[in-house]
Structure 1
């Protein structure tokens, strides 16, 4: 598909549609349609330009776009742009079945959700949070850490979403499918997963605290289990072990977050009272 040139939808309406998608992606979020109603709200910005004098066609398109949809907001923005482009071509008389638009959206939302969750939530947000939390902890309540994080994460989200939205609208479905078929997506996800593991390792060392308070006292010396044994074998092994245990309980045993929190509280109280754990 050649580069998409707008013939029916003005740039202002297209920008408004993107702004609605990025700002209100989970409007009326529910288990039946997920983001479907937000997608319909996006199309409400452009549908009149496609079928000005045909209310039945407008209804048909809106029913098609309100169906089940769920994706990462920023990375999935290209799907919304692509759907608008296809609906525009369909309104111009191109032979594009409505089922094709729906099926294409459905087939793309899974891979792009996986890529977005891995890269954005698994790498970008943790790294930015770690930097800004350290900045906020420096000094006596440095507020700039929170301000910088808010500004950067919002600016990055809106910029990435806009670029992807317009890419999907102009490049169309073939460019996106070509991107997926070349295996670029899998390479990005694999690289982001490795980076995410490295980031989580760094966060565990800095923000998870677990110290063994047990000591063996003799007439000659005091032998600390934490300092003389655990730190010598593997520094920060208790925070790593605690993190992996929680991961195991959540992923394998399907424990809820409330159970995990209760376990941490009980372990902390028992460990503190018995002296097994300390500061």
Structure 2
């Protein structure tokens, strides 16, 4: 005998408990990927209990919904909860009539949302916070490391909140916030570039040891460079390594190259040891 499904006044059949269950499954489901359908297979596992409740009296509709969810899906794990939460809200309201709208929503948003998640959470924040932690750790201060850990844990649990935001707002969030999200990405990117630019010369110890004497006055090569532009050598070294990395050079090769340059330069008295 089928259990009765409670229908709310607003037409919803899913409860907060159902949404939290889907969210908990999300943490495991989003970790499995294949090149044929992306996260689609595990997305079906993530949403199956909620979809089963939506289509509790329509097995054919459930099958159609599952087939629809099996279509290719690939989104940044940190931003994906907004999309999957919104698709649940749409499908709960329209059922099989909304399957095309669900697919259109996923197709339209997984690219832009991946761009936001990849830029902010996978690249910018780890780079900035990691550089700050390394700079502070260099001076024996571990606070930067704990800040890094705290922000990562915050982002991890923020995914639960985003799942509910997606479900409660449906497509309205994407329609109303698209411009603001884009502006936020640009603003944080500029901030990240400024922070990294300030950290490079203060963290990378790359200085000349050459000395020049004239008329009883002795100047070091580093003093001359500092008069031209403080931190010039660390910036040039960083730019060179970045350029080589973009050209396909392996990170281990670049690390070994820096070690060799440092050792040879120090042995010849060109670079400070």
Q: TM-score range by the shorter chain?
A: 0.7 to 0.9
Match of 1:125 in 2: 126
Contact 2:129 2:144 in 1 (8 A): no
Q: Number of matched residues?
A: 265
Match of 1:162 in 2: 160
State how far apart, in whole Å, the 2-side matches of 1:136 and 1:6 are: 55
Aligned to 1:69: 73
Contact 1:122 1:192 in 2 (8 A): no
Q: Answer whether contact 2:86 2:166 (CA < 8 A) is retained.
A: yes
The Cα offsets for residues 165-198 of structure 1, whole Å up to 9 and x where unpaired, read as 2221111113312322xx3233222212211211
TM-score normalised to the size of structure 1? Answer: 0.80
Q: Does 1:39 align with 2:43?
A: yes
Given the two structures, how large is their TM-score scaled by the length of structure 2? 0.82
Tell me by how many angstroms 1:108 deviates.
0.7
SS in 2 for 1:203: helix
CA-based RMSD: 2.9
- In structure 2, the residue matched to 1:174 is 172
Q: Are residues 1:16 and 2:14 paired? A: no
Tell me which residue corresponds to 2:265: 271
> Could you list the per-position Cα deviations for residues 49-69 of structure 1 after superposition, in whole angstroms to 9, with x for gaps in the alignment?
122344443333233223332
- Is residue 248 of structure 2 the alignment partner of residue 257 of structure 1? no
The gaps in structure 2 that reach 5 residues or longer are 1-8
Whether contact under 8 Å (2:11, 2:93) holds in the other structure is: no
Distance between the aligned counterparts of 1:108 and 1:220, measured in 2? 69
2:219 aligns to what SS in structure 1? strand
Residue aligning to 1:150: 149
**CA–CA distance in structure 2, aligned partners of residues 209 and 138 of structure 1:** 13
Distance across 2 between alignment mates of 1:241 and 1:39: 45
1:102 is the counterpart of 2:96: no
- Asked if 1:234 corresponds to 2:229, the answer is yes
Verify the 8 A CA contact 2:75 2:113 in the aligned structure 1.
yes
- The CA deviation at 1:9 is 1.6
Partner of 1:59: 63
3-state SS of the aligned residue for 2:170? helix
C-alpha distance in 2, partners of 1:33/1:263?
A: 40
